[in-house]
Each structure stands twice: as structure tokens, then as C-alpha cells.
Structure 1
Amino acid sequence: AAVKRGIDWLQIRIGAPGDAVSTLSGGNQQKVVLAKWLMTEPRIILLNDPTRGIDVGTKQEVYRLMRALADQGAAILFYSTDYDELIGCCDRVAIMYGGRIVRELEGDELTETNIVASALNVDAATSANARAEGAHA
């Protein structure tokens, strides 16, 4: 029953019920992985480029799922290099460098321009610090 519910909720397109997951499209394979995790009813979900390599329609389904889970109280943390994805899906974006959060953007600040500027400022500041430290060595 839980498997059927996951297939229906995530709109996983399968051939026959006994088909191997490896025979599914990349997007449907991704949704199978999500369905397995969701059966555990997690409160925190960590995703790494959750829509990389999947078609536009499936991306929209994954976004819908992430929003539904967040609306149900789950915390969703994910890494993405897709600015549109970050802006469209996130309430808050943290820019990291060297394992540290160097800037957080939310609300009206959450734009592609601000994301790129934050990342570039981090790189420029880090390079300047490295040069300064090298000059003092």
C-alpha cells in the first residue's frame, strides 16, 4: 500500500509493476529514490542537485513535492548550482565558501544578481586574503 501511495503521489511512470527500477527514465529513477526516503516520514531532508539531469516536467514535479513536504513541516536542505531553482524553491539561500556560510539571502534579497555577487565577493575577498597572507610569510 505504501509503495502504491508513493507511485501515485510522485506520479512515477512505470511499465509493469515488476519492472526493475533501472528500466525507468532518469527522472522516474530519481522519484523512486525520493519515494523510498519519504516512506520513513523524515523531518529533515538533504538533497544534492535534486533535479540535475531530469526533464523540465519532472523538475516541476520534484519542486511541487519539495514544497508540499515543507508545507507539512519538513526542513529541506539542498545544494544546487541552478540559480532559478534556488530562487524558485528556497525561502533562504546560504552562500558557502571554505565550509563556512559567508552570506544568507532571503525575501527580496534572493535574486540571481545577489547570489552571483555574493559568490564573487567571497572569491575576491578570499583571493585578497590569500595574497596578503602570502606577502607576510
Structure 2
Amino acid sequence: GAKYEIYKLMNDLAERGVSIIMISSELEEVLGMSDRVMVMHEGRSTRTLDIAEANQERIMALATGIADELVPA
């Protein structure tokens, strides 16, 4: 479908060294397609995580304003 074609295009571009900014509220999609994740809360960046330290719980804690110290990497 269309989503597959978009993912394929994004992967092809990334393999050629092109940087891609992807905005999504679908965390599984973000975790599956990203090298880094910048999390925002109330219009401001709270943290940029390498994919190795990112998980759904940590991203949600940062996105909702819960203290980062409460959610281990």
C-alpha cells in the first residue's frame, strides 16, 4: 500500500545518506524507522534519544512532561 511505498522511499533515501525528519505519533513506527528520536512536550524539545536508549515508556514520559529520572533508559 501507500505506507509501504513511503517507507521504502524513506529507506532508499536514508541509505544514500539523506537526512529525513519524520513526524509521527505512532511510536512503533518511530522506533522502527529512526536512528534518533527527538521528543517534544508543549512545543519544546525535551530530549533527543539515540534509538538504543529509546523505548515507548521513556518517549511517553518525556512527551507528557513526567520527569526523565522516573523512567530508566
TM-score, structure 2 normalization: 0.75
Count of paired positions: 67
Q: Name 2:70's counterpart in structure 1.
A: none
Question: Which gives a bigger RCO, structure 1 or 2 (Cα 8 Å, sep 6+)?
Answer: 2
Q: Name 2:46's counterpart in structure 1.
A: 102
**What RMSD, in angstroms, separates the aligned Cα atoms of the two structures?**
1.7
> Which residues in structure 2 correspond to 1:1-137 (within 5 Å)?
57-120=1-64, 122=65, 124=66
- Structure 2 regions of 5+ residues with no counterpart? 68-73
Q: Which has the higher helix share?
A: 1
Task: For residue 60 of structure 1, report the CA deviation from its aligned partner.
Answer: 2.3
- Structure 1 regions of 5+ residues with no counterpart? 1-56, 126-137
The structure that has the greater radius of gyration is: 1
* Distance in 2 (alpha carbons) for counterparts of 1:100 and 1:118: 11
Task: For residue 90 of structure 1, report the CA deviation from its aligned partner.
Answer: 0.8
Q: Is the 8 Å Cα contact of residues 10 and 20 (structure 2) preserved in structure 1?
A: yes
AA partner of residue 43 (structure 2): G
Runs of 4+ in 1 over 2 A off after TM superposition: 97-100
